[in-house]
Structure 1
């Protein structure tokens, strides 16, 4: 039980702060927080003995990317440097927390708060810190799986890492924003980037909007009270979703083949004659094909999503609309559509973001082809598949990192704006 006492009235928070700055844990010892102070001291001693030299070397490598060609491996130094940077940030955060904690504890003691005993300290620590301890493994995993690759990719965009500047034979160098300037000034890069970006936006908007529109249309039809055998119809419409996407894409790739595909052989040629449509050799037809395939792949999920939402709409609303003389279109516009959007807007936004980076269908259908003259991207390549080619086919890692960074900014900006605008994140009464 805390109570005021004159014993610590001269306790000085400034002394605790200065001691914690000099060496982590000393301020806690001054505050008679012996367990916490000991932990901080052990951490700093361990850092000074085992990590200081490694972090210094890592930060040196991050700054220079090596100085001796054939000996220093620039990419390994970059990886080690990023890890050192992350470790430095974590250690600085702990150091700052140590100083703040010591000062706050000293202020409380000066005001009359009495430090708890060892047993009570352990109990209090368990009660307050247990949730944080349980989240530490997940935090560490996120750091190495998400944050580390993200930082590495961003930094790679500011280097000249490509096929002709590959370690260990050559050193990679920091070149600032030269890659970004090259992307918008060098003709082949500029034209390819604009073309691929435009197609990526068209592909995302058209394919996603079509699958949403068809899913909503079919959900409205099946939800109509006049329709019989609803369960059977729903099962049939969801079947395309049950088949693995890569299997469906490969089947469609064979069906759309210019020479032996069943689309040309059994449908197009018997109807209009000639040699059929060049689905895989002409960009416009290849793009049309993958939009249709993505619509087929995507509408079952939207259909299932909208079906559940439509069943949750109260029938009283429609009965009230009937009393007021509302038409079918008016009931859809003022009741059905707003309710569906309110309930599903976040998931629909995710559909757009997912298709923006939908690598599978582009690569599995025709590997981003067909080739386009005066371009280092194929006719159906979107940004993500172009990045793949730059990375694994032409080894232009730095430019791939630049495009990846631009993609991330586009998706993040779009998603952030849409999430802020949607009413799903506002009070339901504002609908």
Structure 2
């Protein structure tokens, strides 16, 4: 007895549907007798070509050449037009692939004799299955132009020669490849000096030291105070906790500006009222070493209340039975801290602590508000306390070294992305361990 499907169309070739869909969106659907859907795809492609074809052609030409007529073509606009064209082409490719897959799927159904849904049934099915996508799609489109486009523009600038002395439309920009990155890492100028390399090494080193020292101190101080306040012998715990959290309640920029006045070399209360007792006067804002010390102390003051509040909640959740069992075993205070308190605290807070390091790595506010990254350093185009993010700000808004600022921004983004990936992996590891 034959089991062949009588409605199967063995001569209906899915490959033909694929080829037709590639040649023109919708032809494969017409081949599959999906006339309404095919007509919609054809109208979409023709409309796309007629309305955006000239813009896309101009945009691709612009991003490849960055202009050919000096004083007429604006390289920055051409770069932006080119990036917009790439995003639009990416959206078009996604729809084109969907068109090809749809034609192939329907062709296979026809060849096997399966029922093909009508246009009304297909619309209903799309609405039922793709309902979330209809609400997500506008956000994704906005994301592409509000977030992705500026990121791509920054990446593009990093590979050009856009600077104060070479600005459009007076001059045309040129693609220079990895030359800007080479100036930061490898290039050596005359007499063995390279201001970009020297400045980058200095700023990057201070950024790492700043991140590690300032963040570690605020975490250590927060943990130390949380342990003291959590001690059962301490009274008035609520009052003490409230006082210690008060610095967190004051806006950070206000605190930074107050400290900037207090550390002023000439009239600041640190020198005139406190250190004057010991006949001392420290150049807090003139000497990079002392400015860095002041910044680390201020950040410790700003950051410890959050860590204190975080650790206080964790310490109160540790079972007292563990400590009682440790007392029975004769464990010392330090042994209980190493074996019970610290592992429990780190297990619960490690991802947040990692993000504290990432936050301080890009802590622009304190660096800029305290002393604008100063004082100046001879032989460098960055201040003595500039970190990477504040150096990028100076290069962009004061020195107009746009391409170099973009190159450093990419390096910054890669480092912060590394922090984020590490944090997410640690979070996943904690969840797996807990399970």
**Whole-angstrom distance in 2 between the partners of 1:87 and 1:146:** 15
Judged with a 3 Å threshold, the aligned counterparts in structure 2 of structure 1 residues 108 and 25 are, in CA distance, closer, same or farther, namely same
Task: Decide which of 254, 261, 264 is 2:261's aligned counterpart.
Answer: 254
Q: Name the CA distance, whole Å, in 2 between partners of 1:35 and 1:243.
A: 63
Counterpart in the other structure of 2:391: 386
Query: Against the structure 1 CA distance between its residues 343 and 32, is the aligned structure 2 distance closer, same or farther, given a 3 Å change threshold?
Result: farther
Name the structure 2 match of 1:73: 74
State the shift of 1:421 in Å. Answer: 5.0
Structure 1 gap ranges (5+): none
| Cα contact 1:342–1:422 (8 A) shared by 2 | no
Please name the residue that 1:137 is paired with. 138
Q: What is the CA distance between 1:314 and its match in structure 2?
A: 3.0
- What do residues 27-78 of structure 1 show as CA deviations (whole Å, max 9, x unaligned)? 2343344554344223212211101110110011000000001110000111
Q: Deviations over 1:233-279 (max 9, x none)?
A: 22211111111111111110001000000111110111x204x1100
**Conserved in 1, the CA contact under 8 Å of 2:355 and 2:419?**
no
Map of 1:310 onto structure 2? 315
Structure 1 residue 404: deviation in Å?
A: 1.0
Match of 1:408 in 2: 413
Distance 1:251 1:121, change over 3 A: same
Q: How does 1:115-154 map to 2 (within 5 A)?
A: 115-154=116-155
What is the Cα deviation at residue 338 of structure 1?
A: 1.9
Counterpart for residue 183 of structure 2: 182
- Equivalenced residues, count: 425
1:273 aligns with 2:279: yes
Q: Which residue of 2 aligns with 1:220?
A: 227
How far 1:230 moved relative to its partner? 2.2
Q: Once structures 1 and 2 are overlaid, which stretch shifts more, 87-96 or 53-62?
A: 87-96
Residue 433 of structure 2 corresponds to: 428
Q: CA deviation at 1:337?
A: 1.8
**Secondary structure of the residue that 2:130 maps to in structure 1?**
helix
CA distance 1:427–1:49, change in 2 (3 Å): same
Q: Secondary structure at the match of 2:202?
A: helix
SS of the equivalent of 2:97 reads: helix
Q: Distance in 1 between matches of 2:249 and 2:48?
A: 52
2:100 is the counterpart of 1:99: yes
Task: Give me the whole-angstrom Cα distance separating, in 2, the residues matched to 1:399 and 1:306.
Answer: 41
Distance across 1 between alignment mates of 2:144 and 2:417: 19
Distance in 1 (CA, whole Å) between partners of 2:97 and 2:170 is 42
Instruction: Give the structure 1 partner of residue 209 of structure 2.
Output: 202
Moved more, 370-379 or 135-144: 135-144
Provide the C-alpha distance between the structure 2 equivalents of 1:23 and 1:378, rounded to a whole number of angstroms: 58
1:283-326 CA distance string (max 9 Å, x none): 00000001111111111111122222223333333333334333
**What is aligned with 1:229?**
236
CA-CA distance at 1:418 after TM superposition: 5.1
| Structure 2 portions without partners, runs of 5+ | none
Give how far 1:419 is off.
4.0
Match of 2:91 in 1: 90
- Counterpart of 2:168? 167
Deviations 1:147-179 (A, max 9, x none): 111111111111100011101111111111221
CA distance in 2, matches of 1:131, 1:299: 42
Structure-2 separation of matches of 1:141 and 1:345: 34
Q: Of residues 197, 214, 238 in structure 1, which corresponds to 2:245?
A: 238
Query: Is 1:320 aligned to residue 325 of structure 2?
Result: yes
